[in-house]
Structure 1
Amino acid sequence: MKNLPIVDKNSKYVVSAAEMKRCDKTTISHFGIPQDVLMERAALSICKYVKRALPPSGKVLILAGSGNNGGDGIAAARILVQEGITVTLMLVNHSLHEKGAGSKRTSACNTQLKIALSYGVNVIDFNTATLNTEIKKSNVIVDAMLGIGCTRNLEGDYLSAVCEINYAREDFDEKAPYVIAADIPTGINADTGQVQGQAICADETVTFGFLKMGCAFYPGASHSGIIHIVNIGITEAGFLDEAPEFKYIDIDDNNDFAKKLLPPRNPAGNKGSFGKVLVVAGSKKISGACIMAAESCLRSGAGMVKIFTEKTNLAAIQTLLPEAMTDIYSDEAFESKFEAELTEYSEMLSKSLEWCDAIVCGPGIGKGSAGKSLLETILKNGKKPLILDADALNIIAEDEKIRKLTCEYNGEVIMTPHLAEFSRLIGKNIHDCRICLIQEAIKLAKEFHASIICKDARSIITDGERNFINISGNDGMATAGSGDVLAGLLGALVVSGFSCELEAAVVGAFLHGVAGDMAAVKNGRQGMTARDISGSLRDIFSGKMM
């Protein structure tokens, strides 16, 4: 497996419930850290953020389930009481009178409850009416009901508690109590981020050890609020020789993205040594795609960019992007099959394929005869790193011959489907895709021997062996041309000195999201455009971060 020195240095694990439980267990059994110590440190972390949110003389309501997540909450209640804070601890799905073998509580949770009672913590059993009363008296609510243990739709006391908290907060408006979730909001599936019927809407989530998949993916991410990843003594060592399946880029210093994530540039380099990128994009009806992809490529460090496009786009390119070179063709020649012209265009494209160091193909080329012919020529004759986007992906999904050529391409490939394009490539509807996104992305990467960026609110990047989630970006990026900007960015990155195309793909997806976040600050999410994202790329690479 190829090493990814830049990405590996700047990334962290995001874990499933099973991976977290395994690491937790190993920390206790292999390294010998007692569970009570881990629970105490988790509780202290919860208390830290409770005290930050709590106004003077404020009151805290903690809802604790019967598992170890509940034990964290019970321990937090006791610590807060010891510091003179007024706390009500409500037991959910278990009760004070439970004892011995008949109790639903885990051993650690039961121990914490005994300690809390001995310190005089106000502990009450769950009751809907009582909960409503307590909510009205509380400034901060701590959700320590289920943690990563939610795998099916909520029912019983858990469902009632979640609904009452969410409904009450809506009624309170600006005076609503502040909600902090312990590890992950109750009702969120820790592996998928899906809401299991109902889920707590938290203002903050204090998660232990590692980011959970359920907090990374939507809708779980939107239920988690501000996420704090805290160290309670469970570290990467706990995975032993079996590392988690997914990672994500994480950089603390926002002003250091380019320095940390990009290969160093040669101070004695020239436009040729910084990479020549061929952008095969645009058609008679679509001119913006080729301009946005090429502009992004130039802003992202490529030394030279040539656009291969339909002749009607030439005037716009010369006006808006005079830095780009051009080769042009005529749609009519492909539609009417003028052999002499088609031969000329094929030879022109073949020469450009020899000239370039990387190829971007697909934005705006259409699915007609011209788009298919250009893509086929590239797949048969190209040997350079190839970024396939937009219409190129739709052609591949519809044409078995071209799909086979893509699998056999004699060079590295990055494919960048959004969810609709992804669904066409795997032959499933979009709804079904969301359920099996990870598995199908890995499968697709293996089929095409490619790096896949499945673009969504949380993009998945994989080469079939190494897997990443991108957590940068925002909903303002759901705008026409955003994908063209990413394609151009990737074209520049694959010629900039990364260890392999997967590393360029991971960094590209992240920086594209960061540029989108910067554009949202400048222009607002609702009003931002793809070219705003491209403009922010210039700021990233120049170090002018906000």
Structure 2
Amino acid sequence: MKNLPIIDKNSNYVVSAAEMKRCDAATISEFGVPQDVLMERAALSICKYVKKALPEGGKVLILAGSGNNGGDGIAAARLLFQDKIPVTLVLVNHSLSDKASNTKRTSACSSQLKIALSYGLNVVDFDQSKLGSQIKKCDVIIDAMLGIGCSRDLTGDYSAAVWEINYSREDYDGKFPHVIAADIPTGINSDTGQVHGYAIRADETVTFGFLKMGLVFYPGAAHAGEIHIVNVGITEDGFLKDYPKFKYVDIPDKKEIPVKLLPPRNPAGNKGSFGKVLVVAGSKKISGACIMAAESCIRSGAGMIKVYTDEANLSAIQTLLPEAMTDTYTEEGFNLSDTIEYSKSKEALISAIGWADAIICGPGIGINNSAKEIMKIILQNAVLPLILDADALNIISSEKDIRDLVCAYNADIIMTPHLAEFSRLSGKDIHDCRTCIMDETARLAKEFHASIICKDARSVISDGERNFINISGNDGMATAGSGDVLAGLLGALVLSGYSDVFEAAVAGAYLHGVAGDMAAVKHGRQGMTARDISGSLRDIFSGNMSC
């Protein structure tokens, strides 16, 4: 698998429950790190964030399940107790008095409970009728009930405990206790982020070793609160070179993005050497898409851009984007029955293709016959990096001959479908796509021999072999034109010096999201526009960050 020299230095793994368990087990069995040591370090990490949130003289309530996540919670309770912090430990789904509970507990959990009891810690069995009053007496709640072990709807004590905590939050007078989840909030599927009946709504989540899938995807991400990834002694060595399938770009200090994520520019370069991008966008009824894509492209480092669009958009482009060159066409020019006009239009488009180093095709072009003919000409005559977005994707979904041309295209492609476009490309219902978004993105990438960015609240990026999840961005980016800005950004980045177009696609998705986060800070999620995102790209490239 080809390395990504820039992205690999600035990315980390995001893991499934099975991948995390495998790494955890290998850390113990292959490297000899005792489980008790890992649990103690996890507990110390929890205590660190509890102490930050706890007011002076405050009290802590810890709900601990019968597995290793419960063991982490019990160990944290004992450490806090030893620091003279008032703690109540509630056993959920196991009890002190029931001998059958001994078989429920993992050996590590049993060991931690024995130690806690020997120190005289206040340990009680779960009683739903008493939990409300226990909550009112505490300042911090630690959820250590299930961790990554939740794979089905909660029942019994687990369901009752989560319901009581969430209900108490809504019915609480005054300041509700600060809730900290250990590893992942109880009730969240660690692989999908789905809620299994009920789920803890945490203010913070202290997760161990690696970011979990369930903390990335919604609704799990919304339940996690602020996420802290802590090192407890489990490292990527524990994967024994069988590494997780997905990674994400991680640059904590956003001011370092220009240095860490952008290829160096040639100080002796010129507008020709920095790349010429042909933007095939817009139609008679839609002018904004071509302007936003072209503006984003020129702001992202392209040396020259040429907009190929319907003649109705010429005046708008010349007024709003004087940096852009233009070639125009008419819908009638691609009427196959008028061979002379069609020949002229085709020659003009082929000439524009010959001028370019990369092509963006799709934003606002429509799905009429002229748009289809334009796509055919590009796919049959270009051998350049090609970004396909918006209407181009809808045409591919409906026209088998054009879909076949995409599959046979003899150069690199990036496709940027949002979930509805992705659904049409895959032939699956949107709901079904969301549940299999990771596998289906990789499948489509293999079919089209392309890098695909499936745009959603968490975008999945795949070339069929390498896979990333983008975690930058926010809901304010769900606004008209946001995808056009991404397409323009990608058009510039594929010519910027990345190792391949997939690396450019991963970088582009991340930068687009960061620009969206900056726009949200400046303008608010409610009021931000696509051009605010485009404007923020310049701030990223300059290092003038405000998010």
Q: Say whether the fold is shared (TM-score over 0.5).
A: yes
- Give 2:354's aligned residue: 354
Partner secondary structure for residue 248 of structure 1: strand
Runs in 1 of length 4+ with deviation above 6 angstroms?
none
Partner secondary structure for residue 206 of structure 2: strand
Q: Which amino acid aligns with 1:209?
A: G
Q: Which amino acid aligns with 1:491?
A: G
> Shift in Å at residue 259 of structure 1?
1.4
Moved more, 480-489 or 324-333: 324-333
Contact 2:333 2:345 in 1 (8 A): no
Q: Which amino acid aligns with 2:353?
A: L
Distance in 1 (CA, whole Å) between partners of 2:45 and 2:302 is: 46
- Give 2:480's aligned residue: 480
- Give 1:465's aligned residue: 465
> Shift in Å at residue 216 of structure 1?
0.7
Q: Please give the residue correspondences for 1:147-166 in structure 2 after superposition, counting only pairs within 5 Å.
A: 147-166=147-166
1:306-332: per-residue Cα shift (whole Å, max 9, x none)? 000000000000000010000000013
Distance in 2 (CA, whole Å) between partners of 1:72 and 1:440 is: 36
1:445-476: per-residue Cα shift (whole Å, max 9, x none)? 00000000000000000000000000000000
Q: Which amino acid aligns with 1:533?
A: I
1:334-353: per-residue Cα shift (whole Å, max 9, x none)? 35743222211111111111
Contact 1:277 1:359 in 2 (8 A): yes
> Shift in Å at residue 112 of structure 1?
0.2
- Give 1:343's aligned residue: 343
Partner secondary structure for residue 294 of structure 2: helix
| Residue 546 of structure 2 corresponds to residue 509 of structure 1 | no
Gap regions ≥5 residues in structure 1: none
- Give 2:436's aligned residue: 436
> Shift in Å at residue 103 of structure 1?
2.4
Q: Which amino acid aligns with 1:543?
A: G
Q: Which amino acid aligns with 2:51?
A: K
Moved more, 37-46 or 535-544: 535-544
- Give 2:365's aligned residue: 365
Distance in 1 (CA, whole Å) between partners of 2:413 and 2:333 is: 29
Distance in 2 (CA, whole Å) between partners of 1:98 and 1:245 is: 42
- Give 2:545's aligned residue: 545
Moved more, 14-23 or 348-357: 348-357
Partner secondary structure for residue 7 of structure 2: helix
- Give 1:185's aligned residue: 185
- Give 1:95's aligned residue: 95
> Shift in Å at residue 253 of structure 1?
1.5
- Give 2:250's aligned residue: 250
1:225-277: per-residue Cα shift (whole Å, max 9, x none)? 00000000000110112000000000122111121101100000000000000
- Give 1:424's aligned residue: 424
| Residue 17 of structure 2 corresponds to residue 17 of structure 1 | yes
**Given the superposition, is the C-alpha separation of residues 101 and 148 from structure 1 closer, same or farther in structure 2, using an over 3 Å criterion?**
closer
- Give 1:211's aligned residue: 211
- Give 2:64's aligned residue: 64
1:456-500: per-residue Cα shift (whole Å, max 9, x none)? 000000000000000000000000000000000000000011000
**Given the superposition, is the C-alpha separation of residues 310 and 132 from structure 1 closer, same or farther in structure 2, using an over 3 Å criterion?**
same
- Give 1:199's aligned residue: 199
Q: Please give the residue correspondences for 1:96-135 in structure 2 after superposition, counting only pairs within 5 Å.
A: 96-99=96-99, 102-135=102-135
Partner secondary structure for residue 264 of structure 1: coil
Partner secondary structure for residue 179 of structure 2: strand
- Give 1:306's aligned residue: 306
- Give 2:50's aligned residue: 50
1:82-129: per-residue Cα shift (whole Å, max 9, x none)? 000000000000001244785200000000000000111100001111
- Give 2:224's aligned residue: 224
Distance in 1 (CA, whole Å) between partners of 2:112 and 2:22 is: 22
Distance in 2 (CA, whole Å) between partners of 1:342 and 1:312 is: 18
- Give 1:382's aligned residue: 382
- Give 2:319's aligned residue: 319
> Shift in Å at residue 180 of structure 1?
0.2
Contact 1:94 1:103 in 2 (8 A): no
Distance in 2 (CA, whole Å) between partners of 1:336 and 1:318 is: 30
Kindly tell me the number of residue pairs found equivalent between the two proteins.
Answer: 546
Moved more, 330-339 or 509-518: 330-339
Contact 2:94 2:101 in 1 (8 A): no
Contact 2:102 2:110 in 1 (8 A): no
Distance in 2 (CA, whole Å) between partners of 1:299 and 1:81 is: 56
Moved more, 95-104 or 43-52: 95-104
- Give 2:522's aligned residue: 522
> Shift in Å at residue 174 of structure 1?
4.6
TM-score of the two chains, using structure 2 as the length reference: 0.99
Q: Which amino acid aligns with 2:129?
A: A
Gap regions ≥5 residues in structure 2: none
Q: Which amino acid aligns with 2:260?
A: K
Partner secondary structure for residue 103 of structure 1: helix
**Given the superposition, is the C-alpha separation of residues 100 and 328 from structure 1 closer, same or farther in structure 2, using an over 3 Å criterion?**
same
Partner secondary structure for residue 5 of structure 1: coil
| Residue 234 of structure 2 corresponds to residue 234 of structure 1 | yes
Distance in 2 (CA, whole Å) between partners of 1:280 and 1:338 is: 22
Partner secondary structure for residue 172 of structure 1: coil
Partner secondary structure for residue 353 of structure 1: helix
Contact 1:445 1:462 in 2 (8 A): yes
**Given the superposition, is the C-alpha separation of residues 442 and 281 from structure 1 closer, same or farther in structure 2, using an over 3 Å criterion?**
same
Contact 1:280 1:290 in 2 (8 A): yes
Contact 2:336 2:342 in 1 (8 A): no
Identity of aligned residues (%): 73
Contact 1:309 1:328 in 2 (8 A): yes
Q: Please give the residue correspondences for 1:264-275 in structure 2 after superposition, counting only pairs within 5 Å.
A: 264-275=264-275
Q: Which amino acid aligns with 2:400?
A: E
Q: Which amino acid aligns with 1:151?
A: S
Q: Which amino acid aligns with 1:11?
A: S
Partner secondary structure for residue 6 of structure 2: helix
Distance in 2 (CA, whole Å) between partners of 1:102 and 1:474 is: 45
Contact 1:358 1:386 in 2 (8 A): yes
